[in-house]
Structure 1
Amino acid sequence: MSELRYDGRVAVVTGAGHGLGRQHALELAARGAKVVVNDLGGDRAGVGSSAGPAQDVVEEIKKNGGEAVANPDNVATAEGAQAIIQTALDTFGKLDIVINNAGILRDKSFKNMAPEEFDSVIAVHLRGSFLVSSAAWSHLRDQGYGRIVNTSSPAGLFGNFGQANYATAKMGLVGFTKTLAHEGKKYNVKANAIAPVAWTRMTEDLLPADFSEKLGVDKVTPLVAYLAHESIEVSGEVYTVGGGRVARILVAEGAGWGTNDALSVEAIRDNWEAINAAEPYTVYKNVGEQMGPLIQQLSS
């Protein structure tokens, strides 16, 4: 089997000063990509800034014979996101791959979560991914090629105590990814998302310490790199990945129940079991497909 390479490709990786982002940047660079290593350099709560983390990764890439440039701008501002993409264009003359990985944590139970703690997490994870992708979008469309990989989370897909802000942002990225896939199809711009389980400074309080090696970032990056490769055919998908296991996450709909008669509270009650039945289920590709059973019912 031939090695998958990224020669001639230019990648932007946000939040690449530590953990998953760092590993993504190192892997792409080792396989020939030129990489913009973006990291604001704050702590995991998003406090502070430093050019050091991004520059350290760049130096490591260069030491290994790769090409990279550091960028310390903030993904949560339109000006920062534009500057990140402009760094790729100014330094390497093009852009092919965007990996939205930047994130912060401000965990609290919902009853104790202040609006600013909700807003700040949304600003980095969800709005930041929007802003960086938006700044890159016209360049990817115009050249008729692009790969976007967003970072969702099991917490977003299934919920998690103390993470209402984080879970909201991460589930929002699922809808964002699927929409980019639809709008990018005509231009060969593919967008997918990962829901990783990995031992990083973001998760060290959530995962058992003895899992640090088994859940290493090196067991997540291969999927990210594959989704960023020119040969990838899927778009709009979400994959969970961690500890060597990879699986597709499905957004599915059960067969449900419907009536053309007057709908009442009692009818809902009496058909609750059918409404909640998980099987048979259907995975729809778009909203039009999802409306199919309803249109069929209304036409009968």
Structure 2
Amino acid sequence: MTQGTGNAAGGNGSGGEGGGLCAGRVVIVTGAGRGLGRAHALAFAAEGARVVVNDLGVGLDGVPAADSPAAQVVEEIRALGGEAVAHGGDIATSDGAASLVATALDTFGRLDTLVNNAGFLRDRMLVNLDEDEWDAVMRVHLKGHFLPLKHAAAHWRAEAKAGRTPVARVVNTSSGAGLLGSVGQGNYSAAKAGIVGLTLVAAAEMGRYGVQVNAVAPAARTRMTEQTFADTMAAPEDGFDAMAPENVSPVVVWLGSAASDGVTGRVFEAEAGRITVMEGWRPGPTADKAARWTPSEAGEAARELLGRAETPGAVYGSQ
């Protein structure tokens, strides 16, 4: 693992001693104590980045645990020769998100990349889904993306206005559930769909300040998905663990580096050895009467258009 030394604030963050795709860059990864976040943090450090490892240290139910997984990941990175610092604040609060960005700036003097990854599940069928379970998932996933992005973007905008335009990157974490829906996960699917919308808006708003914003929709075996992928828990005979979270990290690291110049407002699905550019809503077949339809006419037109439209993907769990 290599150590980057960083550039002056506003530099491209692509140089530094020791080389690596992210040498010289400072990267925040939220929810980095386990699973995908831990894999991302280690992968960024392996490419020369200095990493702020954020994790509140909660269980799948959102209740804080006794240990500090963020500190453990920091020790892993340091043991391999990298630089990292732990942050245990709640990034779904404005104070916690502000302190996250401040930790990067105070510790390493700059911020180049934000990877929003924190989340947990409270799965229920809609008729059994309580309001607090809806609110909790929305808070951690959607608000937990918005607030770190807001505070990081404010810093980068100030840098750009001061004549130090950054080469900044944001990688948000959506899900196939947010793109297609998932039975029993109405709260999670809605939050992950909202993250896609947030990604598109942030990419459009922040491009002028040197900030690129993209999202990934990963599929991997983590604490949140271990039941889903229970049949793939055993080590594969060919040596390639298709569901390992480390398979997702390479595209995240690339999106978080200066090498991804010109790529913004996109969503990538990453699973096993496959990377897919996801294509979202866009106009399909259209009918224009140039006057107001009657309900019956509108229905006839809609059915004719549906006959020419592509069939949407199946909602996960509906087959």
TM-score exceeds 0.5 = yes
Q: What is the CA distance between 1:272 and its match in structure 2?
A: 2.1
Find 1:220's aligned residue among 248, 260, 265: 248
Paired residues of 1:37 and 1:70 also in contact (CA < 8 A): yes
Paired residues of 1:199 and 1:215 also in contact (CA < 8 A): yes
Q: Secondary structure at the match of 1:271?
A: helix
Paired residues of 1:256 and 1:276 also in contact (CA < 8 A): no
Find 1:196's aligned residue among 210, 215, 218: 218
Q: Secondary structure at the match of 2:73?
A: helix
Correspondence 1:251-266 to 2 at 5 A:
251=280, 252-266=282-296
Paired residues of 1:37 and 1:57 also in contact (CA < 8 A): yes
**Aligned equivalent of 1:229:** 257
**Aligned equivalent of 2:122:** 106
Correspondence 1:258-277 to 2 at 5 A:
258-277=288-307
C-alpha distance in structure 1 between counterparts of 2:301 and 2:95, whole Å: 52
Find 1:80's aligned residue among 65, 86, 96: 96
Structure 1: which 4+ aligned runs deviate by more than 6 Å?
A: none
**Aligned equivalent of 2:200:** 178
**Aligned equivalent of 1:247:** 276
C-alpha distance in structure 1 between counterparts of 2:206 and 2:67, whole Å: 33
Q: What is the CA distance between 1:266 and its match in structure 2?
A: 1.1
Paired residues of 2:20 and 2:46 also in contact (CA < 8 A): no
Q: Secondary structure at the match of 1:253?
A: coil
The reply to whether residue 116 of structure 1 matches residue 132 of structure 2 is yes
RMSD: 1.7
**Partner amino acid, structure 2, of 1:178:** L
**Partner amino acid, structure 2, of 1:235:** T
Correspondence 1:270-285 to 2 at 5 A:
270-277=300-307
**Partner amino acid, structure 2, of 1:226:** W
Q: Percent same amino acid at aligned positions?
A: 42
C-alpha distance in structure 2 between counterparts of 1:4 and 1:90, whole Å: 23
**Partner amino acid, structure 2, of 1:254:** G
Correspondence 1:11-160 to 2 at 5 A:
11-50=27-66, 52-143=68-159, 144-160=166-182
**Partner amino acid, structure 2, of 1:214:** A
The reply to whether residue 187 of structure 1 matches residue 209 of structure 2 is yes
**Partner amino acid, structure 2, of 1:253:** P
**Partner amino acid, structure 2, of 1:195:** A
Q: What is the CA distance between 1:4 and its match in structure 2?
A: 5.1
User: Structure 1: which 5+ residue stretches go unaligned?
Assistant: 281-300
User: When the two structures are superposed, what TM-score results if normalisation uses the length of structure 2?
Assistant: 0.84
Q: What is the CA distance between 1:161 and its match in structure 2?
A: 1.0
Q: Secondary structure at the match of 1:236?
A: coil
Paired residues of 2:97 and 2:148 also in contact (CA < 8 A): yes
User: When the two structures are superposed, what TM-score results if normalisation uses the length of structure 1?
Assistant: 0.89
C-alpha distance in structure 2 between counterparts of 1:153 and 1:56, whole Å: 27
The reply to whether residue 165 of structure 1 matches residue 181 of structure 2 is no
Q: Secondary structure at the match of 2:92?
A: coil
Change (3 A) 1:50 1:86: farther
User: Structure 2: which 5+ residue stretches go unaligned?
Assistant: 1-18, 160-165, 235-240, 311-319
Paired residues of 1:50 and 1:72 also in contact (CA < 8 A): no
Over residues 210-249 of structure 1, what are the superposed CA-to-partner deviations in whole Å (9 max), with x where a residue is unaligned? 2563211111001101111112121000111101111111
Over residues 140-192 of structure 1, what are the superposed CA-to-partner deviations in whole Å (9 max), with x where a residue is unaligned? 22333310000000011111111111001000000000001101111120000
Q: Secondary structure at the match of 1:170?
A: helix
Over residues 11-53 of structure 1, what are the superposed CA-to-partner deviations in whole Å (9 max), with x where a residue is unaligned? 1000000000001000101111110000000102211144610
Task: Name whichever structure is richer in helix by fraction.
Answer: 1
**Partner amino acid, structure 1, of 2:180:** F
C-alpha distance in structure 1 between counterparts of 2:220 and 2:209, whole Å: 33
Change (3 A) 1:173 1:263: same
C-alpha distance in structure 2 between counterparts of 1:154 and 1:145, whole Å: 29
Change (3 A) 1:264 1:50: farther
Q: Secondary structure at the match of 1:148?
A: strand
Paired residues of 1:194 and 1:238 also in contact (CA < 8 A): yes
Greater mean alpha carbon deviation, residues 106-115 or residues 140-149: 140-149
Paired residues of 1:39 and 1:51 also in contact (CA < 8 A): no
Greater mean alpha carbon deviation, residues 257-266 or residues 124-133: 257-266
